[in-house]
Chains A and B, each alone.
Chain A
Amino acid sequence: MNEPMLFLPLIPLLPFVGFLLNGVLGSKLPKALVSTIALAFPLASFALVARAAWMVYSGLALPVIEHGAPEWIVFGAVHIGFGLALDQLTLVMLLVITGVGFLIHLYSVGYMEHEQGYWRYFAYLNLFLFFMTVLVLASNFLLMFVGWEGVGLASYLLIGFYIDRRSAGDAGKKAFVVNRIGDFGFLIAMFLLLGSFGTLNFSEVAAQLAGHAAISGGVVTLICLCLLLGATGKSAQIPLYIWLPDAMEGPTPVSALIHAATMVTAGVYMIARAHALFDLSPTALLVVAILGTATAFFAATVAMVQTDIKRVLAYSTISQLGYMFLGCGVGAYSAAVFHLMTHAFFKALLFLAAGSVIHGLGGEQDLRRMGGLRKQMPVTFWTMTAAVLAIAGFFPFAGFFSKDAILAAAFQHGVSGKALWTVGLTTALLTSFYMFRLWYLTFLGESRADGPADSPANGHGSAHAGHAHESPWIMLTPLVVLAALSVCGGWIGMERFGAFLAPVTGGVQAAAGDGGQIEMMLSALAVLVAAAGWFVAHSIYGRARNDRANASLALPRRVLERKYWVDEIYVAGIVRPLEGLARYGLGWVGEWTLVRGSAWLLAGVASLSGEFLRRWQSGNLRSYAAWLTAAAAILLIFVLAGTLFGINGFADTIHWAVR
């Protein structure tokens, strides 16, 4: 083979080595060494990815598949290989994961400096990179599922990183359990795939689908819907999005890396990866599009009134992921991946900037107690501004191109597409509004740090809030790099990006030629909408000093503040009944029959037999003598009886006696 070595297995394995080193030895190593290990391995991984990207740029033919073991799992007719594959889609994902991932590692060194369990944090973070790269490098569904579960584990560990906070542990468990529901769908989909295709390889499934349509549409739709269930779990879409806002209990860089830039996009990646299946099922695609649009709109409305800076961003993430699902749902996979990439840039930046604000304010997360930070934190302010402009979709920031591509694809997708486009555009308005609201409340106006807040602060109080300080350079560097990416990331342009991804995801739906005029108008409209959002935010928050200036919309406001009571409905409808069943149904049975019953049975047998046997142990010598004699007499009787009945020999007698 003349093919150049890409060292694909090393891309995940390097962070894994970092995890092992820090995880095993970290508690004994000095902090500087822990940081070095934690940074060096992801950087090396990124270097490998960058090298691969360079080779692809210089004309390396994709996809490149490196088999670890052709026969990983073999049972009956089922052969599942252990292979890593690099194609255009994987390359984009890898660049985002290792690139943004490294930046966030760098940022974490500053952000987590004073935290307990510094080494533990970096071990988990490296573990996450390992699983995430496995997820995108996998050449079959099963290996992808390994990464899928692994990132779930890393996410759980990192959400619950502050082990002394009960809410963090609860949030971790919630994320894990909700994700399990989605994973269940993924598993069912894999079984169905095995049943109808006999293979889990992406390329083989696609080849079979292209070859002949022997598989009935119903099965394909079912597979797609099961995959979609998995995707909604991981990517926080309706109905399984509820874990993501709570996941903000984790350290902020984790929210940036896992719950904004990379892991939550795994669902989008998965749908794009399995697009050959989805393409055959218009029903499933429609469900994807509707779910995505509904989630985008729904989450955006909730984000408008949240007061915790990270929760605003969390709902914003859910909303943006909804856009990506919309993109997938209208068949514009490359647009979805494009948005995935730009979103990774600006949402990671938003989170990191928010983390910088929180850091500077000594743990304050409540928007109502911020304000006026523009002077104190200029770098954070300007980078965050870039990110806000990007997510709101202003030309020429990154978000404009990708969001525009998705909306344009939706617009050209028949009648249902028009409706989706309308909702998507409205969501863009809301997005712009809530992002500028956050921006105004955080950076502009007067500082409200000492003002009354009618809810206790989420963080560690606001002792430092009066004199906020700018973050150290190690945190600002990633901000600046990401800000540059948020500004320039979209300049590749949808055409070129789509053409690059075309071998994987199929051609771009909206060919530029036929609707240039319409596209221009749509773009203009999108920018107009974003500007309108800014204007509304400005008119409410630009002058007014407080968030609760407008009391006129009390009822809708309350509905939104309570997040439509979805958590409460889930608790009342699903969690409570299950808990009740577990506690009073199965719990009672298990407790009283299995646990206590068996204990009582064992203890009862022992004490009863003891009660019986202890009577023999009277301590009276003559009673022992009597038992001895009686036993001897009984033996004698057996022997005699044996003789009488004509049985010869002692062994036979015993046999007869026992019988």
Chain B
Amino acid sequence: MNTAVPAEWYLILSAALFTLGVVGFLIKRSLISIFMSIELMLNAVNLSFVTFAHEWHAVKGQIFVFFVMMVAAAEAAVGLAILISIFRARGTLTVDQIDLMKL
């Protein structure tokens, strides 16, 4: 009797997390929340990478996860810095009000 969790479950979880991330990305107004949604999507993808790597006994997927984490870390560092300076400049982090680039 195989007690291991089937791979499909991981994938379903990954898809659910990703969808949550997308929905959050679309509907949240705070930049912080949008930022967190992006992280959520990245980690959902990471989860599916790891799942497939384990399933197919391939190490590439796990290596890719490290790359994604690295990019995510860099993005977090830069992105948070941008958020701070936006807040300093505009006094808000609501995306609907940050529309100076509009034509």
Contacts and interface: CB of A to CB of B under 8 A. Distances in A.
Contacts of B100: 619
Given A622-B95, A622-B96, A617 B103 contact: yes
Interface residues of A, number: 10
A598 interface: no
A620 B22 contact: no
A622 B26 CA distance: 6
B25 A618 contact: no
B58 interface: no
Interface in B9-64: 22, 25-27, 29, 34
Interface in A137-164: none
Contacts of A621: 34, 95, 98-99
A619 B34 CA distance: 16
A619 B26 contact: no
A133 B101 CA distance: 72
Contacts of A625: 25-26, 34
Contacts of A620: 95-96, 99, 102
Interface string B67-103: 0000000000000000000000000000110111111
Contacts of B96: 620, 622
Contacts of B98: 621
Nearest to B100: A619
A626 B26 contact: yes
A618 B102 CA distance: 5
A483 B96 CA distance: 99
A621 B86 CA distance: 14
B103 A614 contact: yes
Nearest to B38: A625
Nearest to B31: A621
A622 B97 CA distance: 11
Interface string A612-653: 001001111110011001000000000000000000000000
Interface string A27-70: 00000000000000000000000000000000000000000000
Contacts of B22: 629
A620 B98 CA distance: 7
A549 to B, nearest CB: 84
Nearest to A614: B103
Contact of B99 (A614, A618, A626, A629): A618
A629 B26 contact: yes
A446 B27 CA distance: 107
A619 B25 contact: no
A11 B101 CA distance: 74
Given A625-B25, A629-B25, A617 B95 contact: no
Given A625-B25, A626-B26, A629-B26, A619 B95 contact: no
Nearest to B102: A619
Contacts of A619: 99-103
Contacts of B27: 622
A614 B25 CA distance: 23
B28 to A, nearest CB: 8
Interface in A283-336: none
A622 B99 CA distance: 10
Contacts of A626: 26
Contacts of B95: 620-622
Nearest to A630: B26
A468 B20 CA distance: 107
Given A619-B99, A621-B99, A625-B26, 9 more contacts: A617-B101, A617-B103, A619-B103, A620-B102, A621-B95, A621-B98, A622-B27, A625-B25, A629-B26
Interface of B: 22, 25-27, 29, 34, 95-96, 98-103
17 contacts: A614-B103, A617-B101, A617-B102, A618-B99, A618-B102, A620-B95, A620-B96, A620-B99, A620-B102, A621-B34, A621-B99, A622-B26, A625-B25, A625-B26, A625-B34, A629-B25, A629-B26
The 3 closest A-B pairs by CB, nearest first: A619-B102, A619-B99, A621-B95
